[in-house]
Structure 1
């Protein structure tokens, strides 16, 4: 497990006091640290390792809360895993009387606001390699059409919005750009892709919270990439053999569709029975259990 080897305080610390027309006093602080760790980490992981949290306060002023944080890696030849951490604190608190009125359904505690669920539909264009009967597009010679024209299509998106107590970058990296491992909101496994998600710290009635928006895009055929099995060679008695043109007996110059046994499919057979074509599904997306997001009603 990663650990911090050394913490060095750098020049650049600052302090200032501001007084507004209503005589409100605000104290602001800046700190700059250099951290050495014992393994390669992302900057946000280093900040978490140092223990920076949403209610992190200045070490000498418990009323000054962390307002801004930045962490960058500054490796050198001697210490490859060195990071610079910049922290800004302030005692400034929002004036509750100046906050905008609550929206319908909002609670005094933002974490008690109801979760919002919405299905959105968008017009798109897509390229399909199969017709509505799930058969591949073939030309009159029985060859697979490599670049069929795009056609109008639509996509559905499930959008779930919820206020949360904090934002976890590690959780966002784990679930972002993954597909559903199990059925979720009426969709079969593999049909929903969760977009990467971020958040921005907000405050209501003195309570800090992080609004999260989860966007899950639906795809009827699933998100794992599929490709027709085709090539320049076929399996003959367990050996890879170049496919020959039946007329010229020369090596073929274009990929030829293959059946489930890796044998070339004659054009006339494929034209008579397009279902002979085999599509291979690849693991392009990692699967996760969306139920762990806690978004179920």
Structure 2
């Protein structure tokens, strides 16, 4: 395996796409018309599944279920590097990453959408960089989500009449277990809004490959710290029921985003590597992309 990535080959016969979507198997119905599947090999092993390509609003969208099409891959076992590499190899420049999330604040209610602008990483043991040497690379995560895609997502949610929170910090836990009440109370006491298991390193790896990324958090439940001790914790069935009830809203937002997304955008993600590398021999390292 390469210790620092070369450019994924987007010039071969593999079909291309400009927009990538990570999600669950419920999004397959979001793709209509000329739908194709592409199996992609990466230096980091296979991605979670074949990538499905479809045309939406004059653009080609690449869809990849991060947990596999039958939801067989738990959050801590997802091959995030392979998933992001597959998207890059198709020519994807903009990624939309919706998630089911729990709420850490009373004003963020089930059924609401949160367009996160920050994350807190509480995961362990995940392969979270493409740059293991010899090129030392430190990509800034100060503003981890693309501001242009975030603005576009907020406007799309409003146009669909959805309650949307324009900012939020997502706490990413390792899983597969849910938080204890004490952990949940601590997260909430910091002012953080939502909790999830897959946002990191997915969004950061997209940034390392200079792809713009936006998260749409669909709130399915109040986390354990917001539920009194006399109430049982949320179940998977309850989470799934809320998510399913709001799936049409999420699909409508995604469709609107794709259809109205500009063909080109001056996203700051496009050039992060130019200021992220140490010099070698007194000369700037060449841009690998």
Length-normalised TM-score, structure 2: 0.21
Length-normalised TM-score, structure 1: 0.21
Higher relative contact order (CA 8 A, sep 6+): 2
Whose radius of gyration is greater, 1 or 2? Answer: 1
